[in-house]
Amino acid sequence: LGSSSKLLVILSISSGGLVAYSESQTDAGAQSAEIKQKEPQKKRVVVLGTGWAGTSFLKDLDISSYDVKVVSPRNYFAFTPLLPSVTCGTVEARSIVEPIRNIIKKRNGEIQYWEAECVKIDAANKKIRCRSVIDNSLVGNEEFLVDYDYLVIAMGAQVNTFNTPGVNEHCHFLKEIEDAQKIRRSVIDCFERAVLPDLTDEERRRNLHFVIVGGGPTGVEFAAELHDFILEDLVKLYPMVKDLVKITVIQSGDHILNMFDERISSFAERKFGRDGIEVQTGCRVTGVSDKAMTVKVKSKGEICSVPYGMVVWSTGIVTRPVLRDFMDQIGQNKRHVLTTNEWLRVEGCDGVYALGDCAAVAQRRVMEDISTIFKTADKDNSGTLTVKEFQDVIDDILVRYPQVELYLKNKHLNDVKDLLKDPQGHERKEVDIEGFKSALRHVDSQMKSLPATAQVAAQQGAYLSSCFSRRQQCQETPEGPLRFRDSGRHHFRPFRYKHLGQFAPLGGEQAAAELPGDWVSIGHSTQWLWYSVYASKQVSWRTRFLVVSDWTRRFIFGRDSSRI
């Protein structure tokens, strides 16, 4: 039964244009060739990943002209912004996931999905090698090859540990659903351990020390969630140890949430101070053992040992090994991340696109475009603009390049404000163009990279699927409908990211939001805005209903503290 079923699996897989390479290679190849002949000549699109980028690509793609296959080790889409809520049981794990097959079903089942991971991309032969991740003796670790005409890489990234010793062994990450579930169990374990008999106060204190490494949005949101969980639920259940609990956020930079507007970052620090969450800035973790971590205070060079009960490591992301290997093949080995052009195409290989966290868009034309915008506005060629003209130009630049707005807000706003004033501090009537351009020039590299967020990934997926859906149309009528064409040899306009704002929930039913147009909103009303936006952004009515009912359950009954 084992071997015949195995053959059957291989043959049925090969009917989708896939070539098995095991003992049945020849048969499967013949079958595959035969089936290929019967099929109309549709281009084969292989999508790697079912996260924000991959799912958004699949949702709107016109599948009538493509033969689409999806490979991902995760057979569901996860709504990651609510992952921190899963760590404390505010929302249940199943409420924020949507099975990929439900999404496929809505596309009339014309998309094939395989629960496997891509282990090698062979760009020269337009094939990928995949390995099934199903723990099943029938399938085992079976590997198979898939041919493609177009490859869409949307496989996200993995946690960056900076090769810090002990992190993989002793720290929790917060990247996947399983991570959030493990953290939930581990928090309860820490409390249950701390109340065991015969422990010294020192041991109880250590068990109840929760450390978060990384003061970015994920780390801060988790710290806030944990604080609420402890304050609203756990202190009532473990009153004997409530005074021994401590939460610490360790951040290597000078401030937490330093990618947000500084008003949000300082509000968060003040709020955490009031809540008793310790924020240690300017510190770097250099090693983690089973009971303590070593921390280096950057300014003094001092090294200290910090005992802990649980650590969550949330310090950013790095390229997956399979993509590093691919980057070596295509001559991108010196780059930190797989780079695409503005049309999301990986240059140097045919038919490969990359989007989401796994890729960076090289926007080489940012500074050139900005120069052109200024030149057009400076009609009399004087090198200066009136303040009104200057503001119009800035608005134009910000619409095209939201990352410039992010940069100005975070790091450079004061320099720009200075340009609008003379040395005596009076408002200028005219603004020097070169001054502004040079203020931007040395930040060119930051402006090129978009933030690694769901918003970017989803917009890239939607952009690429609209290009794919219109490709046929553009090929049939090469002059194309004008609005789809850019100047030059491209059929499509380059990808442009539209920043719609970002949230930072800070606990205690308060949140901060950075909204388009330099709006900052902080407080309880912003938390309600957060609830409405995240409920509306759910991918299906099913998950929307589940998430809203979880929030309601939490309001009425509190969070569940069982360790299951």
CB atoms within 10 A of CB 137: 6
Beta carbon nearer to ligand FAD, 342 or 357: 357
DSSP conformation letters of 131-149: EE----TTTTT-EEEEE-S
Nearer to ligand FAD, 366 or 511 (CB): 511
Q: Which stretch binds ligand FAD (CB under 6 A): 233-241, 253-261, 286-294, 354-362?
A: 354-362
- CA nearest to 142, candidates 14, 322, 10: 10
Q: How far apart are alpha carbons 476 and 480 in whole angstroms? A: 8
Stretch that binds ligand FAD, among 26-34, 91-99, 304-312, 454-462 (CB under 6 A): 454-462
**Residue 248 in 3-state DSSP?**
strand
Total residues interacting with ligand FAD, rule: CB under 6 A: 33
Regarding 356 and contact with ligand FAD (CB under 6 A), the answer is: yes
The first and second tokens of residue 340, run together, are 């695409």
* The CA-based dihedral angle spanning residues 480, 484, 486, 491, taken in that order and rounded to the nearest 10 degrees: -60
Q: State the binding string over 307-336 for ligand FAD (x if CB under 6 A, else -).
A: -------------x-x--------------
Nearest approach, Cβ of residue 70 and ligand FAD (Å): 9
Residues 146 to 185 in contact with ligand FAD, rule: CB under 6 A: 154-156, 174-175
**What is the closest distance, in whole angstroms, from the C-beta atom of residue 198 to ligand FAD in the complex?**
37
Out of 6, 52, 212, 267, the residue judged to bind ligand FAD by CB under 6 A:
52
By beta-carbon proximity to ligand FAD, the closer residue of 13 and 295 is: 13
* Residue at 324: amino acid letter: R
Q: Which lies closer to ligand FAD via its Cβ, residue 358 or residue 512? A: 358
Least separation in angstroms between CB 218 and ligand FAD = 4
Of 179 and 233, the one with the shorter C-beta distance to ligand FAD is 179
Token pair in block for residue 114:
């395989």
Reduced to 3 states (helix: H, G, I; strand: E, B; else coil), residue 314 is: coil
Query: Is residue 405 a contact point for ligand FAD (CB under 6 A)?
Result: no
**In the complex, residue closest to ligand FAD by CB:** 51
Encoding tokens for residue 432?
């020097």
Residue whose pair of structure tokens reads 């921190």 in the numeric block: 84
Binds ligand FAD by CB under 6 A, chosen from 32, 90, 164, 218: 218
Q: Give the orientation angle of helix 2-14 with respect to helix 25-38, to 10 degrees.
A: 30
Min dist CB 476 to ligand FAD, Å, is 31
Classify burial at 362, counting beta carbons within 10 Å of its beta carbon; exposed 0-12, middle 13-18, buried 19 or more: middle
Stretch that binds ligand FAD, among 11-19, 198-206, 447-455, 490-498 (CB under 6 A): 447-455
Q: How far is the CB of 136 from ligand FAD (least distance, A)?
A: 18
Strands 18-20 and 143-147: antiparallel
Question: Please, which of residues 64-123 interact with ligand FAD by CB under 6 A?
Answer: 71-74, 80-81, 83-84, 117-118
248: which 2 tokens? 């610490």
Among residues 48, 46, 6, the alpha carbon closest in space to that of 28 is found at 6
What is the token pair recorded at 6?
């195995």
Near ligand FAD by CB under 6 A, which window of 197-205, 337-345, 450-458, 510-518? Answer: 450-458
Give the DSSP letter string of 443-466: THHHHHSPP-SHHHHHHHHHHHHH
Q: Which of 14, 24, 31, 50 binds ligand FAD (CB under 6 A)?
A: 50
Query: Longest Cα pair distance anywhere in the chain, in angstroms?
Result: 88
* Residue 455 touches ligand FAD, criterion: CB under 6 A: yes
Name which of 311, 334, 332 is nearest 249 in CA terms. Answer: 311
Which structure tokens are listed for 243? 């005074």
Residue 406 touching ligand FAD (CB under 6 A): no
For ligand FAD, the closer CB: 17 or 156: 156
Least separation in angstroms between residue 151's CB and ligand FAD is 11
Which residues bind to ligand FAD, rule: CB under 6 A? 48-54, 71-74, 80-81, 83-84, 117-118, 154-156, 174-175, 218, 320, 322, 356-358, 452-455, 457
